Structures are given as C-alpha cells and as structure tokens.
C-alpha cells in the first residue's frame, strides 16, 4: 500500500500499528524510531524491521510518517524531521488533542507534505511496546482532521490505511475533535484521577478496605486512572480550554446532586439517576461497548 | 442448612439468592415475596418455590428472612412482618447502607430475633429477577454488621450461608461499613451520574459524537450510571452524611487538577496522575478485578 512507513515512538499505539502493518503487509519497508534504549532493545528482539536511533533517518524516504509519541515531544521531533520528510508524503500522528498540534505543524511551513492528523480512539490502561497488539484498532473509530488545501487522494490514502487496520474512519475539524473528546475522554480521565485519589487519601485504618470492597464501583474508575501519566499531562495542557469548560459544567451537575441529597429531594434525584440510564443502551447499540453484565468480567 | 428461608423482594439480588439457595440446597423450603405482579408472574413461570403475595405469610416460620428490597421500603416491610417473625430466627438484608436501617430495626423492639445486616458487594448494571444468576456472589465480599448482644452461633450460621453462596465474609461495624462504602461505591455512583449527564446535556450537534467516541473513557462510567435509580436514590438519602463529606473531599481533589491545568503546573499534574496508578495493581492483586486490558472486553 505504501512504499515505506515510518513510525516515530513505539509504545502501546506505535507498536500496535507496527504489528498490524506487518501482519497486513501494508508497506514494503517499515522504519521505527524510539528515544528509549529499552524500547529499541525490545523491538530488536521481537521484530524484523529497520530500527533507528536517529529520528530523521527513520523518516527519510517514508511515504507515510506516523508520530506516536506524547504531545509535548512533537515540536522537537517535527523540527528534527522537517528537512528529511519526503516530498509528496503524508505526515500524521495519533495524539488525543489536535488544535495546538495543528498550530505547531502550520508554523513549520512544510512544503509539499500532506499533514493529516489521526486519532485512533483505541487503547488500554497498559503502556509500552509489549502492551501493543495488532487488533487494537479493529472496529474502533479513527478521527482524521485536516485543512482544506490537502489533496483528496492523500486523505483517501490515509483513510484506506486506517481501514486496513480495522478502523472506521471519520473526518472532523480540529476544533470539533477537541471539544467532543474533552467530553468523551478527557473529562472521564480528570474525574477518574480525582475519585481514586479521594478514595486512597484516607485514614490508614481504611486503606485495605478501600481495595477489598472496590467492586462496589471504584474498580471501574481505577482502570482509566492507571493510564500513562505523561501522555495525559500533555493532553490536559493541550486541550486545557475545553477541559476547564466541561469541568465547570460537570461541577454544576455534581452540585445539583449534592443539593438534592441535602434537601432530600427525592423527585430530583430520581430524575437525575433515570436520565443517564438510556445512554449505555445507545453506546451498546452503536457497538462501542459490550452488553454483558460487568463488561463480561469474570 | 436452614429449615425455611424467606426472601423479601426478588430483583437482581433476591433472585440470585433464590437461584443459589436452590442450586446448593441450603433450605428445605423457600418462600418468596415481591410486591410486583410482573415479578410474581416471572417467578411462577421460572421457579418451583412458595411464591407469596402477602409478605407476613412469606416470613412465617422462616429460620432466615432476607430483605432484598430498596432501603426506603424497609420500614413498611418490617412493620408488616414484625409479629410473624419466628422466635429464634435470623433477620438480615442486602442493602448498601446500614446505619439508618439499624436504627429502624432497633426501634421495632424485636424479641428473640437475631438482626444481622448483610451487604453482598456484588451486582451488575442490570436489575429485575431475570438479571439474577446463581454465581453472582462467588468470590465477592459480603459484609456483616451486628450488635454485641447477638448470639455468636447465629452470626456463624449467617456467615456459613454466605460462604456457601461463594462469598468471603467480613464483619464490620455499621458506621465503618457506611464510611468505607461511601468511598468505594457511593462516591463512584454520584460521579458517574454527573459525568454522563455532563456528556449528554450538550448541543444537539454533538449528540451522536458523544455516543460514537465513548470508547475514549466515557463508556466505563455509563455502566455504573445505568444502575437502578430508585435503589440509588435510597442509598444517597440513607448515607447522606458520609456521601456529602466524601463529595467535598472529591471536589477538592478535582480543584487541585483544575488549578494545575490553569497554572500549567507540569510537576503537580504528573504527581497526581502517577499517584493513582498503583491502586489498580493492588485491586487486581486482591482478586477484585481482572488484569486483562479493557476489563477483557472484546
């Protein structure tokens, strides 16, 4: 499908792309770069690919370059690869926030490079190259964002690439992406980190109890709160405007529950609790979660 | 194990106890009461048991009576069965909050009845008798709370009963139970309801997007926010003191994240996000969740 694909950063996402690309034979050559020696060692042991310790060497002659590193590393990487990116090639990424990244790329003044941002809505609570697997993107959405001046055939090429990895592709503006994801992903992470912190910052006496009796609800939140800290710090900074806005709305909703409890307002509390029941059904119907009780946990 | 067991209320929990008790042959007779005609019909179709439309008839001669209804119905039920409870029998329940219920029972002045509260930390996001299954309590904790004057052999009898259903049993004071559960279960529910409400109360334009891209985090919360509204309204009222206290602590933790985002305080945000990673591991080691990525969801 592509001559050479270059993967910059080989953690959970990068290594899953590597696995899937090799499995589906989507490139005649794959070059990988990672700044960590430990990752490089792991890759050499487990993959037959061109493994580079120099980032511009990895992107040289690549028809598709995919940045799979935390958002805060983009600037440095882009400055390093800027002059070696192949004319006519596609540059993409896999980051969870888009508006700020788009500014950085635009400021580079890249010539004859098609910048199309990608966000595969896929991942697990684990990180690093050993956590990746080739079916990670199967039946998951991948959102592409780009400017009007990018050629249609380039967008179609990238769409095809993600489709071959098993994803369903949707095009969205950089701005809409960041707002929608602040609701569906960034807010849930802020909340999960806060709730787990509240539960663990307690008297020593209750420390074990909190772990033992977590099946009453808490354990569902600990999965998300186990996500990669560095990656999430970057997302919160890059999309801070949207996140602070939805956090304010969220606090208002929480205050409504608090007031209803304080005032013993039965009707209000029932109304609140009933309003959220329908969404799960819609998410299951949209194929975004399992209908099995308890996520099918055994 | 028991002569007659009486189950009052036959939804997810009551019907799971019924199924497990029959499967394990833990009683020579089982009587069931439910106030809903629909539930009674379902039970008659699916079970061979003594199905009563009169609650005091169901508890008559029972050696163990288990209340499995929402907390707000306890008072009425207890007043109805008070005079028919068998001398020397055990009275228990399955509710998620204990302190208020204990006051109600104490005010009844029951004579020669052993009141021992039970809370099986088990359940799913589904409700009603068709959602129950006999292995619901397997490897889950069941917390018992009682007063000093209750005879040891009665407590041991009830412990044995839950053990036979597959549970691990722990004794805890009514007060500690309500505080620990406010952290591990009631707070997560308040938060889940708020976050799902924030995500769905949005411009019409983004309605479908929120459903489609929920795999980025939101979908984990919708499971809990699909729980039975009436049951949860009752829990929030009964345990309001603890819940309002932990909600205040929670809001402080959330404000800390908000400030760190506003001030671009990298160090602080990394510290917060790193502190919550360890808990998941501890929960998995304690056998309270699966270590499979994404809860093993496929």
Give the tens place of pLDDT for each residue, B137-174.
Answer: 999 999 999 998 999 999 999 999 999 999 999 999 99
Strand ordering across the sheet containing A64-67: A50-52, A27-33, A2-8, A64-67, A90-93, A114-115
Q: Are residues B152 and B19 in the same domain?
A: yes
Q: Are residues A151 and A192 in the same domain?
A: no
Which residues from A are below 8 Å from B222, CB to CB?
A: 276, 279-280, 283, 289
Question: Do the Cβ atoms of A254 and B190 come within 8 Å?
Answer: yes
Q: How many CB pairs under 8 A join A and B?
A: 348
Q: Are residues B153 and B221 in the same domain?
A: no
Arithmetic mean of pLDDT, B257-279: 94
Q: Model-level pTM?
A: 0.93
Question: Do the Cβ atoms of A194 and B126 come within 8 Å?
Answer: no
Strand bridging mode A117-120 / A141-145: antiparallel
**What is this model's ipTM?**
0.91
Of A137, A172, A207, which one is at a domain's C-terminal end? A172
Q: Are residues A241 and A193 in the same domain?
A: yes
Nearest to A236 among B218, B269, B289 (CB): B269
SS3 A207: helix
Report the residue count for chain B: 298
Q: Are residues A35 and A163 in the same domain?
A: yes
Q: Are residues B158 and B33 in the same domain?
A: yes
Domain span holding position A54: 2-172
Q: Are residues A233 and A116 in the same domain?
A: no
Question: Do the Cβ atoms of B222 and A276 come within 8 Å?
Answer: yes
Cα B20–chain centre separation: 17
Nearest to A209 among B180, B243, B272 (CB): B180
Q: Are residues B29 and B84 in the same domain?
A: yes
Q: Token pair of B27, please?
A: 């009683």
Q: Are residues A218 and A288 in the same domain?
A: yes
> Using one digit for the tens of pLDDT, what is the confidence trace for A112-125?
999 999 999 999 99
A285: CATH = 1.10.3660.10
> Using one digit for the tens of pLDDT, what is the confidence trace for B229-247?
999 999 999 999 999 999 9
Of A127, A152, A172, which one is at a domain's C-terminal end? A172
Domain count, chain B: 2
A133: CATH = 3.40.50.720
Q: Are residues B119 and B12 in the same domain?
A: yes
Cα dist from B39 to B43, B80, B227, B237, whole Å: 6, 20, 18, 26
Tens-of-pLDDT digits for all 298 residues of chain A? 899 999 999 999 999 999 999 999 999 999 999 999 999 999 999 999 999 989 999 999 999 999 999 999 999 999 999 999 999 999 999 999 999 999 999 999 999 999 999 999 999 999 999 999 999 999 999 999 999 899 999 999 999 999 999 999 999 999 999 999 999 999 999 999 999 999 998 888 898 999 999 999 999 999 999 999 999 999 999 999 999 999 999 999 999 999 999 999 999 999 999 999 889 999 999 999 999 999 988 7
**Closest approach of B113 to chain A, Cα-based (Å):** 29
Best probe of the B interface among A95, A127, A134, A184, by most B CBs < 10 A, is: A184
Of B172, B196, B224, which one is at a domain's C-terminal end? B172
**Which chain A residue has its CA at the smallest distance from B294's CA?**
A124
Cα dist from B164 to A274, B129, B137, whole Å: 35, 21, 10
Q: Are residues A190 and A149 in the same domain?
A: no
Best probe of the B interface among A97, A119, A195, by most B CBs < 10 A, is: A195
Cα dist from A206 to A190, A199, B172, B252, whole Å: 24, 9, 11, 20
**Closest approach of A112 to chain B, Cα-based (Å):** 32
Question: Do the Cβ atoms of B184 and A293 come within 8 Å?
Answer: no
Q: φ and ψ at B3, to 5 degrees?
A: -70, -75
Q: Are residues B70 and B152 in the same domain?
A: yes
Identify the band that residue B1 occupies on the pLDDT scale cut at 50, 70 and 90: confident
> Using one digit for the tens of pLDDT, what is the confidence trace for B42-83?
999 999 999 998 999 999 999 999 999 999 999 999 999 999
């Amino acid at each position: 499908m592509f001559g050479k694909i270059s993967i910059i950063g080989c953690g959970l996402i990068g290594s899953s792309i590597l696995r899937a690309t090799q499995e589906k034979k989507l490139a005649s050559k794959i070059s990988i770069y990672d700044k960590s020696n430990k990752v490089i060692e792991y890759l050499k042991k487990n993959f037959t690919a061109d493994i580079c310790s120099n980032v511009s060497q990895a992107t040289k002659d690549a028809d598709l370059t995919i940045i799979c590193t935390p958002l805060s590393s983009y600037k440095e990487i882009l400055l390093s690869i800027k002059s070696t990116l192949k004319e006519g090639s596609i540059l993409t990424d896999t980051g969870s926030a888009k508006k700020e990244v788009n500014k950085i790329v635009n400021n580079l003044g890249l010539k004859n490079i098609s910048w199309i941002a990608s966000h595969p809505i896929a991942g697990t609570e684990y990180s690093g190259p050993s956590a990746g697997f080739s079916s990670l993107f199967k039946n998951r959405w991948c959102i592409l964002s780009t400017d009007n001046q990018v050629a249609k055939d380039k967008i179609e090429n990238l769409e095809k690439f993600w489709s071959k990895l098993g994803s369903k592709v949707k095009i969205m503006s950089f701005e809409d992406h960041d707002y929608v994801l602040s609701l569906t992903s960034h807010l849930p992470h802020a909340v999960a980190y806060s709730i787990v912190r509240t539960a663990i910052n307690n008297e020593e006496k209750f420390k074990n109890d909190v772990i033992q009796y977590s099946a009453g609800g808490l354990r569902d939140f600990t999965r998300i709160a186990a996500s990669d800290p560095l990656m999430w710090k970057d997302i919160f900074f890059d999309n801070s405007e949207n996140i602070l806005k939805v956090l304010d709305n969220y606090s208002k909703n929480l205050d409504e529950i608090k007031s209803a409890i304080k005032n013993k307002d039965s009707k209000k509390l029932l109304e609140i609790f009933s309003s959220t029941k329908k969404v799960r059904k819609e998410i299951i119907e949209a194929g975004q979660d399992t209908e099995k009780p308890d996520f099918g946990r055994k």
